[in-house]
Amino acid sequence: MSKKKLVALTGAGISAESGIATFRDSGGLWEGHKVEDVATPEGWERNPKLVLDFYNERRKKALESKPNRGHEILVELEKQFDVTIITQNVDDLHERVGSTNVIHLHGKLFESRSTINPSLIYPIEGWELKLGDLCEQGSQLRPNIVWFGEAVPMIEVASIIASTADIFLVVGTSLLVYPAAGLIDYVPDRVKKFVIDPQKPDILHVPNIEFITEKGSVGLAKLKSKLGLSFS
């Protein structure tokens, strides 16, 4: 009997307990910076060094951080379910803890990309990407991150996966940024959705939702025991 499909949409909140700042909570990542200066193509054109420094700082932070219990539980659920993680996060904590099926909607912090040929993608060893770091065709490398206003290449794949879920989890995202936030609308009405977050995101229009208003590690532990009972 094949395993039921569990799809988890994760956001910055699942990395909060690893010490990585979220975006919109107080003291969040956007408070120190203007989004348009560090996370848009226009900001990159205006001042690429500022953008490179912003992501270098985030890479340093990610290297100092480690996966938390919430990340671990999503791996443990792979014993019982066919788990796909669709993350808005650019850190590699899901992979570092052993999740085997992770889709990054907004790119990857530890990858760079050519500015003249987007298919040229390179791993970033360590924390630094500098002006003068060039692709094999001689153009400046940029963070392999989806900036505001740019296409989200993986959104079609992600929406198909969401539409095939037997269970859908939302963990640690304010669901304010589209198209990622729209994925929940691809999940069939009959499919149970669990939303784990200390704050209730505004998705009251979505049927068949159960809110677990806890932080990720606690909410996922509660969910795991719930699922253990109903899908034994």
Instruction: Verify whether residue 106 is a known catalytic residue.
Output: yes
Q: What are phi and psi of 151, to 5 degrees?
A: -65, 150
* Alpha carbons 87 and 10: distance in angstroms, whole number: 5
The strands making up 5-10's β-sheet, listed across from edge to edge, are 102-104, 82-87, 5-10, 167-171, 192-196, 209-212
Binding mask 63-92 for ligand APR (x = CB under 6 A): -------------------------x----
Q: Does 107 bind ligand APR (CB under 6 A)?
A: no
Task: Give residue for tokens 């990407």.
Answer: 129
The binder of ligand APR chosen from 4, 5, 24, 224 (CB under 6 A): 24
State the nearest-atom distance from the C-beta of 211 to ligand APR, in Å.
12
Residue type, 57: E
Catalytic residue among 71, 94, 104, 106: 106
* Number of chain positions touching ligand APR (CB under 6 A): 24
**Tokens encoding 215:** 């932080």
Q: Count CB neighbours of 81 within 10 A.
A: 18
Q: Which of residues 149-188 bind ligand APR (CB under 6 A)?
A: 172-174, 176-177
Q: Does 195 bind ligand APR (CB under 6 A)?
A: no
State the nearest-atom distance from the C-beta of 215 to ligand APR, in Å.
3
Burial 48-57 (b: 16+ CB within 10 A, else e): eeebbbbbbe
Residue nearest to ligand APR (CB): 13
The binder of ligand APR chosen from 33, 198, 211, 222 (CB under 6 A): 198
**Tokens encoding 112:** 């760079």
Which residues here bind ligand APR, judged by CB under 6 A?
Answer: 11-14, 16-17, 22-25, 28, 88, 106, 172-174, 176-177, 197-199, 201, 215-216
> Known catalytic residues?
106
